Structure 1
Amino acid sequence: MLQTFTTWNNWLGKRMFYVVLSALLLGFNLSLPKSPVITKVAIGLFAYMTFVTALGTSFKEFIKVLNKPWTPLWMLFLIHGGAPIVAWIVGLIFYPHDPLMRLGFLISSSIPVAVTSIIWTSLTEGSVPLALVVVTLDTLVVPVILPTFFLLAVGQVIHIDYGDLVWRLLFMVTIPSVAGMLVNDFTKGRFADFSKSVGGFTSKAALFLVILLNAAMVASEINWNISLIKLLLVVLLLVVSGYFLGYLGSFAVKERRSDIISAMIYNVGMRNISFGSLLALAYFPPAVAVPITLAMIFQQPVAAVVSYLYKRYISRSPRLLAPNQAINKR
C-alpha cells in the first residue's frame, strides 16, 4: 500500500503545474464568499503540509542553519529590501500617474513569505531547514518591518492585529515544523517513508485544496475585462522577478549548492498573498488590493514552471548538487 502511495506521490510531484492550474481554474469558477470557517480550514491544511514536510528534516539540521545566520539574513534583506525596490521601479515605469496601483505593487512585495515556499523547496529537493528558518524569522520581524515600511512609503502608521497574524503564522509554520522535526529525531527517521508516500500524496492534495479555496474567495473581487491585460502582464513580471531575484541572490552565498539555490528562489519569490489582499482591503482603497489579488493567479503556476526549469538546470550542473542529492542521483 505504501508503495502505491509513493507511486502516486511521485506522479503528482512531476505534474505540479497541472495540479496548481486545475485548482486555480476550479477555484475561480466556484467563487466562494470569504468565511472564517474556510480560512480556518485553509490554515489547518497549511499546518498539515508543513508538518509532513518537516518529517523529513532533523531538528539538528535546523539548529545548524541558525548557527550560520548569514544566508537567512541575506534572504530577509532580499525579501524586504530588494523586492520592494524592484516593485517601486516597475510601478514608476508602467503606472507613473497611478499612485494606488504603485502602492499595491509595493505592498505585494513587502508582505510575509508564503508558507507554501517550504513545500516547493521540498519538492525541488531544496534545503527545507533553511526555508523553515527564513519563514520563522520572517514571522518574527514582520510586525516590526511592515509598520515601518508603511510609515516610509505611505506616510502613516497603520495598526494591524499582529498578535493574530503572528499566532496564525506560528500555527501554520513554527509549531508543525518543530513537531515534525522532533518526531523525525525521536523516531530516528522512521516516518521518512510516510512523508514520501501517504504523507506526501495527501500534502499535495492539501496544497490543491488551499489554492482552490484561496482562488474561490478572491474570484468575486476580479472584474475580467480588456483593461486588465496590461495589469496582468505587469503583475506576472513582478512575480517572475521575485523568483529571479532569489536566484541572483544565490550568487552572493559562499556555499552555493543546489539545495541553497532552491530555498532562495522560493523563499524570496513567494508571498502570503491572502494576507496581503486582506491588509490592502482593510486599510486602503479597493484599487490597491487589485494587483495583490491578481498575483495569486500567477504565483503558484510560476512556482511550478520554475520547478521544472530548475530541475533541468540542476541536471546540467551536477557540480551544484548537495551531497545527499549526489548520492540519490547515483
Structure 2
Amino acid sequence: MLNSFAVLNRWLGKRMFFVTLIALLTGFNFNLPHFLLSQNVTLFCFIYLTFVTSLDIHFKDLLRIIKRPILPIGMLILIHAVMPIIAGGIGFLFYPQDFYTRLGFLISSVIPIGLTSIVWTGIAGGDVVLALVVVMLDTLLSPLILPAFFSVVLGQSIDVNYSQMILELIMMVALPSLAGMALNDLSKGKVDKFSQSLGGLTAKIGVFFIILVNAALISPKIVWGISILILLGVILLLMLCGYLVGYLASFALRNRTRPTVLTMIFNVGMRNINFGFVLAMTYFPVAVAIPVTLASVFNQPLASIFTWFALRNAPKEQNLIQSTQVEKEISTKY
C-alpha cells in the first residue's frame, strides 16, 4: 500500500503546476463553505505540512546550518535589502505618480518569507533544513526589520502585533519541525517511508487546499479590467526578480550545490502574502493592499513552475534514485 502511495506522491509532485492551477481556478470561481475559510483549518494545514516535511530531517542536520550562519544571514540581506531596492525601482518605473501602489510593492518585497517555501523546497529537492532555519530566523527578526523599514520609507514606525506573528511561527514551524525531527531520530529514519508516500501525498493535498482558500479570499477584492491586468504584469515581473536574485546570488557561494541553489531560489522568491495582506489592510489605505493581495495570484503558481523545471532538469542519477529508492525500502520492510 505504501508503495502505491509513494508512486502516486512522486507522480503528483511532478505535476504540482496543475495542482496549483486547479486550486486557483476553483477558489476564484466557487463559493466555499464558511468553515473551510476558517483560519484554524489553514493553520492546521501549515502545521501538518511542516511536520511531514521535517520527517526527513535529523537534529544533526539542523546543527549543521546553525553552526554556519553566514548563508542564512546572506539570504536575509537579499530579501530585506536587495529586493526592496528592486521593488522601489520597478515601482518608480511603472507607477511614478502612484505612491500607494509603490508602497504596496515595497511591502510585498520586505514581508517575511512564505512558510510554504519550505514545502516547495522539499518537493524540488532543495535543502529543507536550510529553508527551515532561514524562515524561522526571518520571522524572529521581523520585529526589528519591519519597524526599521517603515521608519526609512514613511519616516515613522507602525504598531504591529509582532508577538502574535512569532507565536504563529512557533505553532506552524518550530514545534512541528522539532516534533518531526525528534520522531525521525527516535525511529532511526524509518518514518521517512511515510513522508515519501502517504505523508507526502497528503501534504500536497494540503498545499492544494491552502491555495484554494487564498484564492477564494482574494477573489471578491479583484475587479477585473485593463488596469488590474497591467498591475498583475508588473507584480509578476517583481516576483520573478525575487527568484532570479536568489539564483544569481548562488553563484557567489564557495560550495555551490544544487540543493542550496534551489533553497535560495524559493526562499528569496516567496513571501508570506497572508501576513502582508493583513499588514496592509490594517495600517494602510486599500490602494496599498491591492498589490500585496494580487501577489498571491502568482506566489504558489510560480513556485510550482520552478519546481517542475527543477524536477525536469534534475540529474539523471537523482531521478533514478527518486524513482526506485522508496519502492525498494518499502518492499524490503513490508
TM-score, structure 1 as length reference: 0.93
Please list every run of 5 or more consecutive structure 1 residues that lacks an aligned counterpart in the other structure.
none
- Cα deviation per residue 1:122-170 (whole Å; 9 max; x = unaligned)? 0111101100110110121011101111111112210011111111111
Secondary structure of 1:227's counterpart equals helix
Number of the residue aligned with 1:117: 117
Q: Judge conservation of contact 2:117–2:267 (CA < 8 Å) in 1.
A: yes
| Residue aligning to 2:201 | 201
Any stretches of 5+ residues in structure 2 without a counterpart?
326-334
1:172 match: 172
- Matches for 1:174-323 after TM superposition, within 5 Å: 174-315=174-315
Within a 5 Å distance, the mapping from 1:68-217 to structure 2 comes to 68-217=68-217
Deviates more, 1:33-42 or 1:275-284: 33-42
Instruction: Map Cα deviations across residues 107-126 of structure 1 (whole Å, 9 max, x no partner).
Output: 00000100100001101111
In 1, are the aligned partners of 2:8 and 2:201 still within 8 Å (CA)?
yes
Q: Deviations over 1:53-76 (max 9, x none)?
A: 000011110111111111111111
Q: Displacement of 1:182 after TM fit?
A: 1.0
Question: Alpha carbon RMSD of aligned pairs, Å?
Answer: 2.0
Deviations 1:54-110 (A, max 9, x none): 000111101111111111111111111111111011001000110000000000000
Q: In structure 2, what is the equivalent of residue 49 of structure 1?
A: 49
Give deviations 1:207-228, integer Å, cap 9, x for gaps.
1111111111111111111221
Deviation at 1:30, TM superposition (A): 2.9
1:309 is displaced (CA, Å) by: 2.2
Residue 67 (structure 2) pairs with residue 67 (structure 1): yes
Name 2:328's counterpart in structure 1: none
Q: CA separation of 1:247/1:67 partners in 2, compared to 1, >3 Å: closer, same or farther?
A: same
In the TM superposition, residue 31 of structure 1 has moved relative to its aligned partner by: 4.9
Please state whether the residue corresponding to 2:295 is helix, strand or coil.
helix
1:6 corresponds to which letter in structure 2? Answer: A
Distance 1:34 1:83 in 2: 36
Aligned residues of 2:53 and 2:195 also touching (Cα < 8 A): yes
Distance in 1, matches of 2:284 and 2:33, equals 21
Letter in 1 for 2:163: G
Residue 268 of structure 1: how far off its partner (Å): 0.6
SS of 2:226's partner is coil
Q: CA 1:302–1:91 in structure 2 vs 1: closer, same or farther (change >3 Å)?
A: same
Partners of 2:37 and 2:213 within 8 A in 1: no
Cα distance in 2 for partners of 1:63, 1:257 equals 19
Cα offset for 1:312? 4.0
Q: Which amino acid aligns with 1:40?
A: N
How far residue 34 of structure 1 moved from its aligned partner, in angstroms, is 8.6
Q: Could you list the per-position Cα deviations for residues 290-316 of structure 1 after superposition, in whole angstroms to 9, with x for gaps in the alignment?
A: 111111111111111111223344439
SS at match of 2:44: helix
